[in-house]
Amino acid sequence: MDLFKKCDDFTTVNETRELGIYPYFHALESKQDIVVSMEGRREIMIGSNNYLGLTGDQRVIDAGVAAMKEFGSGVSGSRFLNGTLTTHVTLEKELAEFLHKEDCVTFSTGFQTNLGIISAIAGRTDLIFVDRENHASIYDGARLSFAKMVRFQHNDMKDLELQLKNADPDKGKLIVTDGVFSMSGDIANLPEIVRLAKKYGARVMVDDAHGFGVLGKHGRGTAEYFDLEDEVDIIMGTFSKSLASLGGYMVADHKVVEYVKHKSRPFIFCAAITPANAATALEALRILKTEPERPKALLDIASYMRKSLKNKGLNIMEHSIVPIIPIYTYTFLRTLAACKLLFERGVYVNPVIPPAAPEGECMIRTSYTSTHTPELMDEAATIIANVLNELPEADEDILAYLESLHE
């Protein structure tokens, strides 16, 4: 059989394009902000992870420009060889200090960070316990480690304890969880995870990509939010969200960081973060430290929008406080149609469809920025409510409705 037969059989993209509801790869014509220009349209941006609003901050931009002028556009090698800059060293030092850990190592992307940590720290004789709704990079890191992966039901501590209880006591154990789950906005039950880890001799790793800059009095993330910074063994995070750049990091005890630095293939065999990316992440971190009111403003605007959407009768996940608010649209077709209509009316959101959500539980994911204003949120909420109230529920009715709009 031809290897590429699967490519011929993959027809979903063409089918959704023919229907005019393909939702991906819309091109930005401006920098990431609360309002953007996208394919000639003004769009209220509630579909990015620019949580602290720093991607367009002039101080961050200037830091990146200055770094390129000083160090050039790239490093042309790995950190092991010629790729370590003084900026990398400074960034790692300040991250470790901010997150109250002994040491830090940075990676070129957030996805690569999870691959690099998990595949280095766990091996064939170990067990990795993962929440079923963890990020894909955690699953891929576990596979790359060759450790046995044990899934537990989402945020289900009884199931986690059962899995730990049934595990071989002589094997190394690592519990890995998202701090804030990127699709639902759920916050991990970190206090219970830590308790169970102590009881069964496991280590704890938190992926805080969506928690850093969001939770905690100082924005240090999920562990700070629960006052468990000393109890979590490894914290990873990304630069592409609150820190307005690209890359990722791991903080832990010095011995753990040293081990990962010298054992992690995704770290050893990859070029280092570019000078501009390192400098912009560092500047964003320094802004967060000097402007700790940003995380509170972020949660305030999320609370405002959550109440507004609920008051308009929309079915949202309302149990969390973070700036991720999924709105149920239920079916694949209705979700893509909603995204299309919202885009046309000036609101940019993200579709959550299988495999990211079970069939029948599809959603549009909305996410917010500390610099969003109540006035802008009122405008977006009204447009969202109008679109979802007008959009039929049955697939055959949706197609007819879309056709009627463009006759």
Task: Specify whether 304 is located in the same domain as 250.
Answer: no
Task: Specify the pLDDT at position 296.
Answer: 97
Q: What angle do CA 379, 384, 388 make, to 5 degrees?
A: 155
Task: Say what the pLDDT of residue 393 is.
Answer: 86
* One domain for residues 270 and 299: no
Say yes or no: 253 and 339 in one domain.
no
**Is 48 in the active site?**
no
Strand partners, 327: 316, 364
CATH at 144: 3.40.640.10
| ∠ Cα 158 322 230 (to 5°) | 60
pLDDT per residue as tens digits for the range 165-211: 999 999 999 999 999 999 999 999 999 999 999 999 999 999 999 99
Do 272 and 370 belong to one domain?
no
Q: How many domains in the chain?
A: 2
Same domain, 165 and 206: yes
For tokens 């990020």, the residue is 135
Mind listing the pLDDT tens digit for each residue in 230-267? 999 999 999 999 999 999 999 999 999 999 999 999 99
Query: What is the residue range of 233's domain?
Result: 58-290
Do 220 and 179 lie in a common domain? yes
Residue 182 is among the residues annotated as catalytic for this protein: yes
Tell me, yes or no, whether 88 and 165 share the same domain: yes
The domain that holds 323 is classified in CATH as 3.90.1150.10
- Choose one of 290, 312, 337: the last residue of a domain: 290
Using pLDDT thresholds of 50, 70 and 90, give the confidence band for residue 401: confident
Clarify whether residues 99 and 18 are in a common domain. no
Task: Mark which of 274, 290, 306 sits at the end of a domain.
Answer: 290
Verify whether residue 88 is a known catalytic residue.
no
Could you say which of 48, 108, 137, 182 is catalytic?
182
In the listed set 290, 319, 344, which residue is the last one of a domain according to the structure? 290
Q: Which of 313, 342, 312, 317 is nearest to 327 (CA)?
A: 317
Position 357 scores a pLDDT of: 84
Sheet strands side by side (includes 41-45):
35-38, 41-45, 347-348
Residue 318: is its pLDDT beyond 80? Answer: no
Pairing of strands 35-38, 41-45: antiparallel
Does residue 258 share a domain with residue 143? yes
277 with 306, same domain: the answer is: no
Question: Per residue in 2-39, pLDDT tens?
Answer: 999 999 999 999 999 998 999 999 999 999 999 999 99
* 242 and 347 housed in the same domain: no
145 with 182, same domain: the answer is: yes
Q: Which of 101, 241, 340, 372 is catalytic?
A: 241
Marked catalytic residue, from 88, 135, 173, 210: 210
